[in-house]
Amino acid sequence: MKYKMIGYGKQTIEQDDIDAIIEVLNSDLLTQGPAVEKFEKDLQDFFDAKHVCAVSSGTAALHLAGLALGWGPKDIVITSPLTFLATANCIVYSGATPDFVDINPVSYTIDLNKVEEKVKHYLSIGKNVKAVIGIDYAGHPCDWKGLRQIADKYDLQLINDNCHALGARYLNDKGYAVKYADIVTHSYHPVKHFTTGEGGAVLTNNLELDEEIRCLRTHGINKNHTKLDEPWYYNMDKLGFNYRITDFQCALGSSQLKKLDSFIEKRHRIAKRYNDSFVNIKNLIIPTEQSTIKHSYHLYPLQIDFEKIFLTKVQFFEKMKKAGINLQVHYIPIHFQPYYRENFGFQKGEFTIAESYYYNELSLPIYPDLSVNDISLVIDNILENISK
C-alpha cells in the first residue's frame, strides 16, 4: 500500500512555472540563451546585487567563490561546523585548510567572538586567516555588521553561504547579503525557498570577482580576447569548469522568484503555529528570531531534551515515522565526518555548542504547500510523544 509521508521540505510548482519551462523547450536555445540572462537580471533586482552569475548548483557557486577569491594551499578559511557539507568542501577544493568556529547558542550562526579569538590565535602563531564563510543557518541571518567589522579589522574575505536565507531580511533589508559579504552563494535545490531543480548563483557587488566567476563557469575561456580577424578564436587563460545552468531551469527560476515573498509568508505562518504550540512546553526549545532580522524559515529546527522525555532520538524518529512524518536533522557537525577527522585532525568535543545542538535538533516539516491538517498532525504527534 502506498501512503503519504510528510518530509521536511518540498517545492511548490504551479501551472505558470510549467508554462515558462515549456516556452523555452519550444525555443531555439536550451542553454546559453536569453533565459539565463533574464534570470540573472531578476536576481540582481530582487537581491540588490550589482552582479549575478547563475550556475549549475549551490556547490558550484561555492567552488567558484573560493577560486575567484584566490584560495590556495597556504590559506586558512573558517566556517561554522553546523552547515551542509558543501560549505566546508569548497574550502578543500581550492587546497586551502578548513577550520571551524562554534555557533552562537541563540541564533545558531557563527559566533563572532569566537571568530575573532580564532583569527587572533592564528596571528599569535604567525598565520593569517584568509576568509570567513558565514551561513544564515535555517534562515536566520548572521550578525553581518559584526562579521564585516572583524573582516575589515583583520583583512579577511567574507562569504555568505546564503542558501538557507533566500528572502530573509537583515536590518529590514532583503538585499543585505551582498551589502556585507564580498561574495554570496545561493542554491535553488527543490528543498530551498524556490527552485530550478538543480541550480545556484554567485552574487557580488565586485565587478572583477564577477568577471572571474563568469570565466571559470565556462572552462576558463576569456571572451575579451577574441581576435577580430579570426572569428573562431578564443583564449583559455585559466583552468575552468562547465558550471552552466540551462535556459529552461532559469525560466523556472524567474517564474519561481516572483513568488518568493509569498512563499516566505507561508513559511512564517507555519512557523508561527509551531511556535505558538511549543513555546511554553517543557523540554522543547523553539528557534529564535532576533529583532534585527526577518527569518526565512528554510528549516524549523526544534530542540528536544531527549533524556528528560525518556526517549532516544531514534525512538522519537520511529514514532513520528509511524504517524507518516519524516523528520530530518540539520546537521551532523562537519568535524564529525571521517573525511575531516582523518585529513584535518578534527575531534568530537571541539565545538561543543554545535555538538549538543546536533544531539537535540530535529527539523520539522515546513514548506509553502504543507496543509493545515498536516501541520496539526505534526504538532499533535510531537506533543503526544514528548509527554509519554
Residues that bind ligand PLP (CB under 6 A): 57-59, 83-84, 86-87, 135, 161, 163-164, 187, 189, 200
- Please name the amino acid found at residue 365: P
Nearer to ligand PLP, 114 or 189 (CB): 189
**Side by side, which strands form the sheet with 51-55?**
51-55, 200-204, 183-187, 157-161, 129-135, 76-79, 97-100
User: Residue 188 Cβ, how far from ligand PLP at the closest point, in Å?
Assistant: 7
Nearer to ligand PLP, 195 or 277 (CB): 195
| Cα distances (angstroms) measured from residue 20 to each of 26, 31, 197, 252, 263 | 10, 15, 14, 6, 19
Cα-Cα-Cα-Cα dihedral sign, residues 205, 208, 212, 217? positive
Q: Which residues, other chains included, contact 20 with Cβ-Cβ below 8 Å and sequence gap of 6+?
A: 251, 252, 254, 255
Nearer to ligand PLP, 249 or 277 (CB): 249
Nearer to ligand PLP, 12 or 87 (CB): 87
Nearer to ligand PLP, 87 or 303 (CB): 87
- Name the 3-class secondary structure at 160: strand
In this structure, the chain runs to a length of: 388
User: Residue 279 Cβ, how far from ligand PLP at the closest point, in Å?
Assistant: 26
Nearer to ligand PLP, 157 or 277 (CB): 157
User: Residue 225 Cβ, how far from ligand PLP at the closest point, in Å?
Assistant: 31
User: Residue 193 Cβ, how far from ligand PLP at the closest point, in Å?
Assistant: 11
User: Residue 90 Cβ, how far from ligand PLP at the closest point, in Å?
Assistant: 8
Neighbours of 218 (CB within 10 A): 17
User: Bridge partners of 100?
Assistant: 79
State which residue has the least CB distance to ligand PLP: 58
Nearer to ligand PLP, 164 or 179 (CB): 164
User: Residue 223 Cβ, how far from ligand PLP at the closest point, in Å?
Assistant: 26
User: Residue 56 Cβ, how far from ligand PLP at the closest point, in Å?
Assistant: 8
Give buried/exposed letters for 141-159 (b at 16+ CB in 10 A, else e). bbbbeebbebbeebebbbb
User: Bridge partners of 302?
Assistant: 362
DSSP per-residue letters across 275-300: HHHHTT-TTEEPPP--TTEE---S-E
**Side by side, which strands form the sheet with 361-364?**
284-285, 300-304, 361-364
Cell of 102: 562554534
Nearer to ligand PLP, 115 or 163 (CB): 163
- Rounded Cα–Cα distance for residues 120 and 125 (Å): 9
Q: Which residues, other chains included, contact 345 with Cβ-Cβ below 8 Å and sequence gap of 6+?
A: none
Nearer to ligand PLP, 54 or 382 (CB): 54
User: Residue 164 Cβ, how far from ligand PLP at the closest point, in Å?
Assistant: 5
- Rounded Cα–Cα distance for residues 277 and 254 (Å): 36
User: Residue 165 Cβ, how far from ligand PLP at the closest point, in Å?
Assistant: 9
